Amino acid sequence: MTLPKSFFDRPVAEVARDLIGVTLLVEGIGGPMVEVEAYDQADPASHSFKGPTLRNGAMFGPPGHAYVYKIYGIHWCLNFVCQPGSAVLVRALEPRHGLELMQERRGGLGERQLCSGPGKLCQALGVDIGHNGLPLDALPFELLPASESQDVATGPRIGITKGVETPWRFVRRGSPFLSKPLS
DNA sequence: AGGATGATTGCCT
DNA sequence: GGCAATCATCCTC
């Protein structure tokens, strides 16, 4: 069964860690997540740091919904809203379901390059602003718990200039599908 | 009303 | 390793 909204109504770093290994499907396309990052309102790197705005509105809505935004005018990024002002950015997953469609959307690339980054993942899964605010416990989303315990490692988040000291990047240790090695 | 900027990616040297 | 692409949002005047 797909994860209930209550799964997200917890401290964001805890949710982020527990999401490693959880299978994310959008219209049946996706696979187990191997890299996520946590952001909360006290965090200067977070979109929610300065309070609600038009863009980040979903981050202040109820837990268990999607927050989608466009970055650099080009790429979409998918987040899972947790407690108010906090969310988990989905950065990479292991392509397992719907490989053919993912490759078509991404331009016929190898498996390693299909979902190894937040923008790539959204392109491969067909996520865009139309998904902003949608509940995560209903179609087109499915979130299926991992069947085995996961070897999770943490490190500094990618691509931020503030809040760099908060080690809220969570990865499946040794996964070949990360956006970057842990370092 | 105008300008700086970004939780990125891919192409070029 | 360096940098351009591309634009809605947000902040300042």
Residues in Cβ contact with A137 at an 8 Å cutoff, skipping those fewer than 6 apart: A2, A3, A4, A5, A64, A143
Check whether residue A75 has its CB closer than 7 Å to nucleic acid strand B: yes
Q: Tens place of pLDDT for every residue, chain A, 183 residues?
A: 899 999 999 999 999 999 999 999 999 999 999 999 999 999 999 999 999 999 999 999 999 999 999 999 999 999 999 999 999 999 999 999 999 999 999 998 899 999 999 999 999 999 999 999 999 999 999 999 999 999 999 999 999 999 999 999 999 999 999 999 997
The dihedral through the CA atoms of A2, A169, A14, A54 has a sign that is: negative
Distance in Å from C1's C1' to A139's CA comes to: 43
Per-residue pLDDT reduced to its tens digit, A68-119: 999 999 999 999 999 999 999 999 999 999 999 999 999 988 999 999 999 9
Task: State residue A19's pLDDT score.
Answer: 98
Task: State residue A108's pLDDT score.
Answer: 84
Strands A29-39 and A23-26, by their bridges, are: antiparallel
A77 is written with which tokens? Answer: 């990024």
**What are φ and ψ of residue A144, in 5° steps?**
-105, 120
Nucleotide nearest to A55 (CA to C1'): C9
Determine how many CB atoms are found less than 10 A away from the CB of residue A157: 21
Residues in Cβ contact with A143 at an 8 Å cutoff, skipping those fewer than 6 apart: A2, A3, A7, A22, A23, A24, A25, A136, A137
Check whether residue A70 has its CB closer than 7 Å to nucleic acid strand C: yes
Q: Tell me the C-alpha distance between A169 and A156, whole Å.
A: 6
Quick one: residue A120, left, alpha or beta (phi over 0 = left, psi -120 to 50 = alpha)?
Answer: alpha
The H or E element containing residue A166 is: none
Distance in Å from B13's C1' to A2's CA comes to: 48
* CATH number of this structure's domain A5-172, picked from the four choices 3.10.300.10, 3.20.20.120, 3.20.20.80, 1.10.645.10: 3.10.300.10
Distance in Å from B13's C1' to A121's CA comes to: 28
